[in-house]
Each structure stands twice: as structure tokens, then as C-alpha cells.
Amino acid sequence: MPSPRRKVLEVLQGSTVTPPPIWLMRQAGRYLPEYRETRKQAGSFLQLCYSPDLATEVTLQPIRRYGFDAAILFSDILVIPDGLDRNVHFIEGSGPRMEPIDEEGIFSLSPEKVLPHLKPVMQAVEQIRARLPDETTLLGFCGAPWTVATYMIAGHGTSDQAPARLFGYRHPKAFAHLLAVLADLSADYLVAQIDAGADAVQIFDSWAGVLGETEFEEYAIKPVARIIRSVKERRPQAKIIAFAKGAGMNLRHYRQKTGADMIGLDWSVPLSFAADLQKDGPVQGNLDPMRVVAGGLALDDGIDAILQVLGQGPLVFNLGHGITPEANPDHVTQLVNRVRGIAHGA
């Protein structure tokens, strides 16, 4: 019996697939009424992440509704600091909170606790892969060390991540140690997800855009390269997507320096620059999530522009960041149909 055709994996291997495969960051989320219903059962956001049955259900919901070419594990980038006993919790309407860490706390971290803490996540990965259609790629993920560190230093998100940037300048040895600990834990976590059934994994560096050139090299490139090198040493066939939001021109050598198989592009990346990046390998992105909120012609035009410039090369169609709670589920149907060339009954 022939192996299932997992189109996202084909692109990750450098092939051009027409029409391009599609999935959306945060595709399992608050814009879906079925997600909101399941979320109520969990009691809290983290409980949803740590309940294998409920995490499986919300991961599968957008696959049932839209038939995306990939499912991404429902979890959060902050489960690693949660496993490090940083008292992670989420406040409705204002996001994550945790106990801020200092120099002493960094050098007192207990990494050995993390993977046992994350066993429910691996159970969810196993369940999701077992219940997914054979042709659907399953993506695991983690947060990049820089982005995770920003929350650990400040105890919450900030508009420019100044607390973490200042900490890096004032306490370079402690900050380098924190990034190294997070990189090694992230590599272990991704390997565990791959072993549990993930076909590929993505590293999210959501706050890469606040870094200057030197800091981007030290905080964004080197720790991600450390993760990828470690994963590929242990699992040579692993395929890894790296998404550095807001990185701009720093993306020019990001793939080569990190070893990523595919790079994700946010919506601010000009398509002409995206086309240059695509010459070196697969790209993923990069529709403005606000076009999904708007729908109609704005959505069609944004999709068409990306397909015209990037559709003849290795591309996974995605948003330039996560879908927002305000998005109309019908607009996502419009998006999927447009990408697949069936918007007008074709």
C-alpha cells in the first residue's frame, strides 16, 4: 500500500506542490465556536494543554472543519517554564503571568523536572497522530529560547520586551545560561514530540523583531541553531520550521545560520524579499491575519498576491502570525477555497 502523501512534508523536502499545502497558525483557537465549548470543559487554559483528550479534540477541530494539510499540536510555548516551576498562569484578557526570574533563580533551575511534567503533551501527540487522516501532517512545536526568556524575565509580555533586553545587557552570563538551558530543554522536548508521532516541528520566535542585529545573532540565531543541531544529531530525518516574527532583513541568512529546513515569514516581509529567500529553500506564510478578519476582496487580493509571487516555488501557505479571535470562520473557508483554486467552483 503506498504511503500517504503528506504535502507539507513534501515542501519541507524542497518540492513545489500546486496548489500549495495550507495550515494556519492558531488554527485551533477562539475564532471557532467548537473550540470555545471545549475550552469551557477544561477549567483553565493550561488544563486544556495538559488534558490529552481535550488537547486532541481542539487540535482536530479545524481539520474536520477545513481539511487543512497540517494539524499543529494544541499547547503553548510556556509549558517549559511551567515545568521549571515558574508558576505560569493565564489571566483572561491580559495573557500569561509567571514569577519573574533573577540571576539566582536562573542558576538554580531544575531542568530534569521538565520532560516528566510534559508527559501529557506527548500522550496528546500520540492520540492526535492516531486520529488524524493519514495524509495530514502533524506538527509539533516549541517556543524559541529568546521569546520564552522574555516572559521568564518580565513575568509577562511587554510591548518591546525591554526587561529581557536590559537583563541581557546587565547580566550577560546569566542570560546566556538561561538561553542555553531553554535551548537544550526545547531540543529534548521536540525530540520527544517527534518520537510520539509528530511529522515535523516548528520553533516560534514571536519576539525576534525587537532585537538589534548583534542581539539577533546572539539571542535568536545561536540558540535556535543549538536546538536544531541537537535535534538533527539525534533524529537526522527531522524536519524543522523556524519562524522569527518581525526579523526583517535579519532573515537573509537565518536559514543558513540556524539550519532550519523552512523559514516562516510574517506579513511585513515584502514579497520581493520573500521570493529571494525562497531561492534558498522552502518558505511559509505570509498573509496578514487582518485580511482574514476583513474577508471579501481584501482577503482574495492578499492570497492572490502571495500565490502569484511564491506559488511557483516551495511554499506552505499560512498567515504571517496567528489567526485572531475576531476572524469569521466563513472567511477561513473562503481562504482555503481560494488557495486551492475552488473559490468560484473550479
pLDDT by residue for the chain (346 residues), tens only, comes to: 456 789 999 999 999 999 999 999 999 999 999 999 999 999 899 999 999 999 999 999 999 999 999 999 999 999 999 999 999 999 887 789 999 999 999 999 999 999 999 999 999 999 999 999 999 999 999 999 999 999 999 999 888 999 999 999 999 999 999 999 999 999 999 999 999 999 999 999 999 999 999 999 999 999 999 999 999 999 999 999 999 999 999 999 999 999 999 999 999 999 999 999 999 999 999 999 999 999 999 999 999 999 999 999 999 999 999 999 999 999 999 999 999 997 444 4
Whether residue 199 contacts residue 138, with contact meaning beta carbons closer than 8 Å, is answered with yes
Burial (CB count <10 Å: 0-12, 13-18, 19+), residue 170: exposed
Beta strands in 215-282 (DSSP E): 240-244, 262-264
Exposure on the CB side of residue 47, measured as CA atoms within 13 A: 7
**b (16+ CB within 10 A) / e for 116-139:** eebebbbbbbbbbbeebeeebbbb
pTM: 0.96
CA distance 266 to 318: 9
Query: In one letter, which amino acid is 66?
Result: Y
User: Between the CA of residue 116 and those of 7, 13, 337, what are the distances in Å?
Assistant: 33, 32, 42
Q: Phi first, then psi: what are they for 323, rounded to 5°? A: -65, 145
**b (16+ CB within 10 A) / e for 41-51:** ebeebbebbbb
User: Which amino acids are annotated catalytic?
Assistant: 26, 30, 39, 76, 151
Which CATH class for the 7-339 domain?
A: alpha beta
